[in-house]
Amino acid sequence: MKKKKLKMYLIIFISIIILIVELFPIAIIIMNSFKKDIDIWSANPFSFKPTLDSYKKVFQRKDVMLGLRNSLIVSILSTSFSLVVGAMASYALSRFKFRYRKALSYSFLISRMIPQISLSIPLFMMFRSLGLTDTLIALIFAHMSFNIPYVIWVLLPFFSSVPIEYEEAALVDGCNRKKVFWKIFIPLVGPGLVVATVFTFMMSWNEFLYALVLTSSNAKTAPVVINGFMGQYAPLWGQLAAAGTIMLIPVFVITLAFQRYLIGGMGGGVKG
Amino acid sequence: MATKKNKRIGERSPVLYFILPALILVGLVLIYPIIYAVGISFFNWPLVDESSRGFIGISNYVRIFQDKEFWHALFLQLGFIFIAIPIELIMGFFVALLLNREFKGVNLIRSLLLLPVFVLPVLSGLTWRLMLQPEYGAISFLLNTLGIPQTAWLANPGTAYAAVIIQDIWRMWPFMFMFIYSGLINIPSSLIEAADLDGAKFWDKVIKIIIPLLRPTITTALLLRLIDALRIFSEVFVMTGGGPSNATTLLSLYIHKQAFRYFNVGYASAMGVILIVISLIIANFLVRRNMDSGS
């Protein structure tokens, strides 16, 4: 019995060590956000006097504020559009019988895996010829290229698992398909919608490549602005860390709040 | 009765009503760009001087085979995949076993471990870049106190490549952990306990019971990670920019360089198309598994 208790303490000890090592880089970035740039370049990286200096500077920077605003707009709008459109498509794919239904589901699912770098070139050329370079509209559309397939990917199993009797009853009662969808299905697939919302939002919020390729100044999102802090000669680590920490707040709040949905979301509806 | 109802409502129009918006949007931002990419991959298409644009057939694809830099990028990419993913899997697996028990605070540990997975890739890359700075980086400092001389880790090809891989392992092993853990809690504990009573040793249990039962979960996780690792870009781009001297120029970075630094969009697209094909082959396995078990 004593041996068992000892083993338990050992397990707890190892777990805590793993956790400390794993969270070390995050701690570093948060710690550096409370330092001045000049203090980061000198001396012991672990000794410092906390200051809000970098945050003050970051909040005064127009480019950071614009970047955060753009990130929010792009994330919220592309998430909303993708959710509506993706949920409707999932409903059709799970409930109607029509030709090419299977092929269509397959295409939607597989299209989630197309590498962004391959799409970035044609998207860049398309938006350039449409005169949409460096606009938020271009970014919102570009984000939908990964968000819509993702939403369908997540929601399809949720829609398929709704018992068919539910809608039969409603259809007999005289509801039409649109009403069935909005009034009956949407509430029933609620958990799926939560997963889809959380993940599409985070994918957009974290996205970098499209923002790098498709924007130059007006439509820059926060990740691109943060990368700009590296500068040519002297990186502004303090401000970079402060802006980065601000970007992390929604991510961590979402991660911890929706913890129990995360596994389903990471697999993206894939059954393990 | 039901069919009559359906007839009255009309089966065809609701399908279109529901599916058309997605079809149009996906067609615009995904299908059309893919066709476009395939199209330009047959052209010599310099972005800077578009007058010299011209159809050159499959020359770009032939050029890929002769391009030493491409093969180098592919080699680095495969090395990255075959080093990072197995380590992530092994770490994730054993930590999942370790944390598949109840003690005070275990829930908190499990969820905190997941945070790195969701850190912005850009911020992750930049943080590692900061930590590895020779004079003032936290990791350099710690290694120095252990007696390892200060080195410009990201300025040396070998260590820069290793750093890129370590960064990915740090970010993504918790993904494996969470995936495997979610499979583990679905294994009836009676199975594992029964083995305990039989006096089965730890490794016997792992090899004969746990791994066979988790096989589908592990395969899915591996396929997902494989597709992601194949297209990794942001973390590496901000961490090393592909350098020093191409030591960390993985496939996506090389394509990006050809397209947006050398402005050879035709050639870059040809490589992009090849990357699409490879990704779709892997994705095909994943989607088929999913659709089979779904129906």
Query: Domain tally for chain A?
Result: 1
**Does residue B81 have a pLDDT over 70?**
yes
| Contact list, A237 vs chain B (CB under 8 Å) | 130
Please check whether residue A162 lies inside any domain of the structure: yes
- Residue B200: Cβ within 10 Å count: 15
Closest CB from A81, A256, A266 relative to B111: A256
Contact A205, A79 (CB under 8 A): no
Please check whether residue A14 lies inside any domain of the structure: no
Give pLDDT, residue B295.
40
pLDDT classification of B2: cutoffs 50, 70, 90: very low
Instruction: Give chain B's domains with CATH numbers.
Output: 66-265 (1.10.3720.10)
Give pLDDT, residue B6.
47
Please check whether residue A187 lies inside any domain of the structure: yes
Give pLDDT, residue B194.
66
Give pLDDT, residue A270.
43
> Which chain B residue is nearest to residue A141, measuring alpha carbons?
B29
The whole domain housing A71 covers 53-265
Reduce the secondary structure of chain B to three states and give it as a string.
Answer: CHHHHHHHHCCHHHHHHHHHHHHHHHHHHHHHHHHHHHHHCCEECECCCHHHCEECCCHHHHHHHHCHHHHHHHHHHHHHHHHHHHHHHHHHHHHHHHCCCCCCCHHHHHHHHCHHHHCCHHHHHHHHHHHCCCCCCHHHHHHHHCCCCCCCHHHCHHHHHHHHHHHHHHHHHHHHHHHHHHHHCCCCHHHHHHHHHCCCCHHHHHHHHHHHHHHHHHHHHHHHHHHHHHCCCHHHHHHCCCCCCCCCCCHHHHHHHHHHCCCEHHHHHHHHHHHHHHHHHHHHHHHHHHHHHHC
Which pTM was predicted?
0.91
**Does residue B102 have a pLDDT over 90?**
no
Distance in Å, alpha carbon of A208 to nearest chain B alpha carbon: 6
Q: Which of these ranges, B21-30, B61-70, B180-189, has the smallest mean pLDDT?
A: B180-189
Cα four-point dihedral sign B162, B167, B170, B172? negative
Give pLDDT, residue A157.
86
**Does residue B197 have a pLDDT over 70?**
no
Give pLDDT, residue A90.
93
CA distance B220 to B157: 33
| Contact list, B183 vs chain A (CB under 8 Å) | 272
Tokens of B212: 């066979």
Q: Residue B276 and residue A105: Cβ atoms within 8 Å?
A: no
Please check whether residue A3 lies inside any domain of the structure: no
Q: Residue B95 and residue A18: Cβ atoms within 8 Å?
A: yes
CA distance A146 to A204: 9
Please check whether residue A24 lies inside any domain of the structure: no
Contact B238, A91 (CB under 8 A): no
Q: Residue B174 and residue A269: Cβ atoms within 8 Å?
A: no
Q: State pLDDT tens for residues A17-48.
A: 999 999 999 999 999 999 888 788 776 788 77
Contact B175, B92 (CB under 8 A): yes
Q: Residue A92 and residue B126: Cβ atoms within 8 Å?
A: no
CA distance B93 to B71: 33
Query: At which residue do the structure tokens 């609620």 appear?
Result: A190
Distance in Å, alpha carbon of A191 to nearest chain B alpha carbon: 17
Please check whether residue A12 lies inside any domain of the structure: no
Give pLDDT, residue B196.
64
Q: State pLDDT tens for residues B200-252.
A: 777 888 888 889 989 988 998 999 899 999 999 999 999 999 989 899 999 99
Average pLDDT, chain B: 88
**Given CB atoms, is A232 within the 8 Å cutoff of chain B?**
no
CA distance B29 to B36: 11
Please check whether residue A10 lies inside any domain of the structure: no
Low-confidence ranges of chain A (pLDDT < 70): 1, 43, 263-272
**Given CB atoms, is A74 within the 8 Å cutoff of chain B?**
no
Nearest C-alpha neighbor of A256 from the set B110, B100, B177, B269: B110
Q: How many CB pairs under 8 A join A and B?
A: 303
Q: What is the predicted ipTM?
A: 0.91
CA distance B40 to B61: 12
Q: State pLDDT tens for residues B219-230.
A: 989 998 999 999
Please check whether residue A16 lies inside any domain of the structure: no
Contact B164, B80 (CB under 8 A): yes
Contact B239, B125 (CB under 8 A): yes
CATH of the domain at A215: 1.10.3720.10
Q: What does DSSP assign to residue A212? A: H
Distance in Å, alpha carbon of A123 to nearest chain B alpha carbon: 6
**Does residue B195 have a pLDDT over 80?**
no
| Residue to test with chain B: of A7, A117, A160, A252, most B Cβ within 10 A | A117
- Residue A97: Cβ within 10 Å count: 8
Nearest C-alpha neighbor of B70 from the set B285, B273, B246: B246
Closest CB from A18, A120, A223 relative to B120: A223
Give pLDDT, residue A265.
62
Residue B55 pairs in a beta bridge with: B43
Q: Return the axis-axis angle of helices A101-111 and B12-26, rounded to nearest 10°.
A: 30
According to DSSP, the β-strands at B54-55 and B43-44 are: antiparallel
Distance in Å, alpha carbon of B253 to nearest chain A alpha carbon: 9
Closest CB from A96, A110, A248 relative to B287: A110
